[in-house]
């Protein structure tokens, strides 16, 4: 009976050990799943607001017959307001803010869409010199300077612009005064489907201490109904869809 009792105790201990291991694995799996869904909860810096300003642009040209036309484009300026997390008690400084992995999905083949970096303070020059090829990087510094691609190391405003060019022409009459905004697209017979697209990209916030936080986002463009409103400004303060992770990017479905 002594040997049977010893065997029984060992069996119970083995069962307890197995249950404990399963319990530990379950906790780890739960924490990993929670991190996958919620991401970092106490980042040193956070995106506090995102503004999307959509409208139209046009450049006037004259054909061989002397008739003036406006070559129409649709543009979207996107701004990110980045600030220090009030709940983060340690000192931290921004080393860089990076936007990359841009993917543009147009609903049809009208026009050509490109990403542009700023050419000056809140201004854009839509020429080949300012097209974002692979990534757009803002470095941390003492003060924000968009022209030099510098953001204050405690936060500031950064962004880029997306222009869809060659979407149509509008003939300008001699006695006509036109407003170069989204309503001009409607006058030219351009529909909302002609200019619809969604743009996805990754955002990386890197601090001077070496921490990197990455997230991905997708924006539906243009914002609002610019064909009737002319200009649409959307301020997005609920950014809970942005899930930042350390290092690797997880795309929230």
Q: Domain extents for the chain?
A: 1-39, 42-238
In whole angstroms, what is the distance from residue 85 CA to residue 45 CA? Answer: 5
Q: Nearest to residue 161, comparing CAs of 136, 181, 183?
A: 136
- Write the pLDDT tens digit of every residue in 106-124: 988 889 999 999 987 667 8
pLDDT of amino acid 105: 94
Would the CA dihedral through 137, 140, 145, 148 be positive or negative?
negative
pTM here? 0.81
How many C-beta neighbours within 10 Å does residue 12 have?
A: 10
- Write the pLDDT tens digit of every residue in 206-236: 999 889 999 999 999 999 999 999 999 999 9
User: pLDDT at residue 249 above 70?
Assistant: no
In whole angstroms, what is the distance from residue 122 CA to residue 157 CA? Answer: 10
- Write the pLDDT tens digit of every residue in 53-80: 999 988 877 777 777 888 999 999 999 9
């Amino acid at each position: 009976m002594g040997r049977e009792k010893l065997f029984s105790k060992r069996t119970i201990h083995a069962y307890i050990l197995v249950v404990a291991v399963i319990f530990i694995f379950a906790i780890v799996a739960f924490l990993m799943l929670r991190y996958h869904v919620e991401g970092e909860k106490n980042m040193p810096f956070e995106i506090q607001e995102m503004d999307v300003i959509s409208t139209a642009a046009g450049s006037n040209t004259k054909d061989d017959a002397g008739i003036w036309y406006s070559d129409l484009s649709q543009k979207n300026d996107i701004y990110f307001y980045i600030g220090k997390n009030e709940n983060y008690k340690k000192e931290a400084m921004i080393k860089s803010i990076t936007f990359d992995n841009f993917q543009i999905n147009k609903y049809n083949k009208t026009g050509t869409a490109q990403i542009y970096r700023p050419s000056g303070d809140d201004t854009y020059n839509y020429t080949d010199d300012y097209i974002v090829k692979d990534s757009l990087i803002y470095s941390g510094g003492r003060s924000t300077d968009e022209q030099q691609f510098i953001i204050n190391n405690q936060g500031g405003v950064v962004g880029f612009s997306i222009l869809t060019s060659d979407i149509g022409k509008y003939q300008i009459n001699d006695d006509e005064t036109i407003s170069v905004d989204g309503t001009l697209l409607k006058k030219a017979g351009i529909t909302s489907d002609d200019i619809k697209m969604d743009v996805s990209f990754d955002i990386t916030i890197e601090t001077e201490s070496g921490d990197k936080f990455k997230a991905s986002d997708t924006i539906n463009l243009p914002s609002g109904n610019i064909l009737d409103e002319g200009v649409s400004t959307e301020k997005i303060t609920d950014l809970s869809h942005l899930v930042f992770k350390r290092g690797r990017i997880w795309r929230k479905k």
